[in-house]
Amino acid sequence: MRRTAWGALLACALSSAALAERLTLEEALAAATSAHPDRRIAESDLAVARADRQQAESLRDFSLFLDGALRSGRRPNDSLVDAGEWKADNIGRIVARKPLLDFGRSSQAIAAADQGVAARQADLYNVENLRRIDIMARYFDVLLADLQYAADNEFMAVAYVNWDSAQDRFEVGQISQPELLRLEADYQDIRERRNASQQRMRSTRQRLAHAIHRPDQLPAELADPALEDNARPVPAYETLLPWVMENNPRVRALRAQLAATDARLAAIRAERNPVLDAEVVGGAYSRESTTRDDLSVGLVFNIPLYQGARVDGRIAREFALKERSEAELEKTRLELADTLLATLQEIEWLRGSGRGAAEKQIEYRDWALERARAEYELELKTNLGTSMAETQSAKLRRKQVEYRLALALARLEALSGGSLPPVEGARE
């Protein structure tokens, strides 16, 4: 089968809801900020952190409330007639109160909430980086699936021709039945592999559609990206390690969580301190009294004397959370060091022996294809189809190297917080 058959099979492999336009890598990566469930979860966490910050800041807000009571009472007086009678003693007051000093409660609570927002912002940025890498990987999977299908389709065509011609030779007694069965078995194995490749074309497109948050629009055709950044220089491990430890989004989020824990500890300890409020009260009373004022202004203070184990229990909880965050931070740093080294080694390998071997394979297969074409035209051999299939496989191998290199560089940038430090001697 050649290009016409390949196009027909591709059309059959794809869903009827497939996109008609050609999708580029840049367009796919633009979907990293779409309303994907992963991003929505991170945005929800950030919204919760901002609401916590607003709640902490409200501790300093002015408050206004209505205070009242409906009751009756009696008291002794000089009149014997009215002695012992119950009379209304209703109270209605409007109270305005503004905290003046809480000796660290609100300020530390706000500081903790600010660090919580910073941690969630770092997590959101990390999710965006992971989304970009996932979209790139799914995009490359589609391209590789198409190339693999093209190669397997060529091999199947060759195997079919061999088996078909063998049937004619078997009928005239040129080959034995076991040889014919072997050729048919080879054809069926290659056909099975081709059909599996055909299914991967559909499944990889569905995963890409989900990654770019277009589940009902499967991309039919993808543009092969130029991948110009594959040639960018990268710093050495010793230079990049401290940069990653400082700028990695996950590390920044954990550091912010630790700072939030320290601030919450300070806020909890401040609950043992006094509280001073300014208060304005306007009241109305059904019973006159020399101890009641229609309008009063004053300072109200509260000095905790005994709170049981409530403060100590909360402090113990925060210390446990701090210990957990410190352990997570240490674990993350160890994992980052290993991941960074593995990523740099992968880049070095792909740029060195991986790329070199793939290029030499292309060079050899191009030469072999030209030779096979010349022999075919001279009717010396009939291995042109096999040479074309092996050339497709060589091209697939080269693309695999370049796509892996692009993903490794994207992971390296994500580990570094979105940007790499300058490389000494490299051109801008």
- pLDDT (tens digit, 9 = 90+) per residue, 199-228? 999 999 999 999 999 988 899 899 999 998
Q: Is 313 helix (H, G, I), strand (E, B) or coil?
A: helix
Look at residues 301, 303, 302, 283 and name the one whose alpha carbon lies nearest to residue 293.
283
Q: pLDDT > 70: what percent of the chain?
A: 85
Helices and strands: H and E segment counts in the chain? 10, 8
What is the bridge-based pairing of β-strands 219-222 and 91-101? unpaired
Average pLDDT over residues 147-175: 86
Q: Is 69 helix (H, G, I), strand (E, B) or coil?
A: strand
Look at residues 207, 225, 255 and name the one whose alpha carbon lies nearest to residue 417.
255
Q: What is the CATH number of the domain that holds 402?
A: 1.20.1600.10
| Residue 426 within any structural domain of the chain | no
In this model, does residue 394 exceed pLDDT 80?
no
More confident residue, 392 or 90: 90
Q: Which of 231-245, 308-322, 392-406 has the lowest mean pLDDT?
A: 392-406
What is the bridge-based pairing of β-strands 72-73 and 87-88? antiparallel
Cα-to-chain-centroid distance, residue 389: 39
pLDDT band of 416, cuts 50, 70, 90? very high
Look at residues 119, 132, 208, 122 and name the one whose alpha carbon lies nearest to residue 413.
132
Look at residues 350, 340, 344, 353 and name the one whose alpha carbon lies nearest to residue 404.
350
Q: Contact 260/116 with Cβ under 8 angstroms? A: yes
Is the dihedral angle over the CA atoms 251, 253, 256, 261 positive or is it negative? Answer: negative
Give residue 384's pLDDT: 60
Tokens 């966490």 found at: 45
Q: Is 295 helix (H, G, I), strand (E, B) or coil?
A: strand
Token pair belonging to 176: 């034995």
More confident residue, 304 or 369: 304
Give residue 133's pLDDT: 95
Token pair belonging to 321: 């959370």
Average pLDDT over residues 329-348: 95
pLDDT band of 19, cuts 50, 70, 90? very low
| Residue 407 within any structural domain of the chain | yes
| Residue 77 within any structural domain of the chain | no
Token pair belonging to 92: 């209605």
| Residue 172 within any structural domain of the chain | yes
Burial 84-95 (b: 16+ CB within 10 A, else e): eeeeebeeebee
More confident residue, 8 or 29: 29
Cα-to-chain-centroid distance, residue 131: 5
pLDDT tens across 82-130, in order? 556 788 888 999 999 999 998 888 999 999 999 999 999 999 999 999 9
Q: Is 269 helix (H, G, I), strand (E, B) or coil?
A: helix
In this model, does residue 410 exceed pLDDT 90?
yes
Give residue 364's pLDDT: 63
Give residue 82's pLDDT: 55
Partners of 91 in beta bridges: 69, 285
Cα–Cα distance between 346 and 229 in angstroms, integer?
16
Q: Is the overall model pTM greater than 0.85, yes or no?
A: no
Average pLDDT over residues 21-49: 92
CB atoms < 10 A from the CB of 353, how many? 11
| Total tally of structural domains belonging to the chain | 1
Q: What is the secondary structure of 176-239 as a DSSP string?
A: -HHHHHHHHHHHHHHHHHHHHHHHHHHHHHHHHHHHTT-TT--EEEEPPP--GGGG-----HHH
| Residue 335 within any structural domain of the chain | yes
Token pair belonging to 48: 């919760």
More confident residue, 371 or 321: 321
Q: Is 88 helix (H, G, I), strand (E, B) or coil?
A: strand
Cα–Cα distance between 351 and 422 in angstroms, integer?
20
| Residue 423 within any structural domain of the chain | no
| Residue 105 within any structural domain of the chain | yes
Q: What range does the domain containing 254 cover?
A: 20-71+88-415
Token pair belonging to 320: 């446990």
Highest mean pLDDT among 17-26, 79-88, 96-105, 360-369: 96-105
Q: Contact 340/237 with Cβ under 8 angstroms? A: yes
Q: pLDDT > 90: what percent of the chain?
A: 54
* Phi/psi at 279 (5° precision): -135, 135
CB atoms < 10 A from the CB of 133, how many? 17
| Residue 15 within any structural domain of the chain | no
Mean of the per-residue pLDDT values for the chain?
85
Give residue 421's pLDDT: 84
Q: Contact 369/387 with Cβ under 8 angstroms? A: yes
Average pLDDT over residues 135-160: 91
pLDDT tens across 75-89, in order? 766 554 555 678 888
What is the enclosing helix (H) or strand (E) of 25? Answer: helix 25-29
More confident residue, 284 or 369: 284
Partners of 92 in beta bridges: 68, 284
Q: Contact 351/412 with Cβ under 8 angstroms? A: no
Cα–Cα distance between 43 and 398 in angstroms, integer?
39
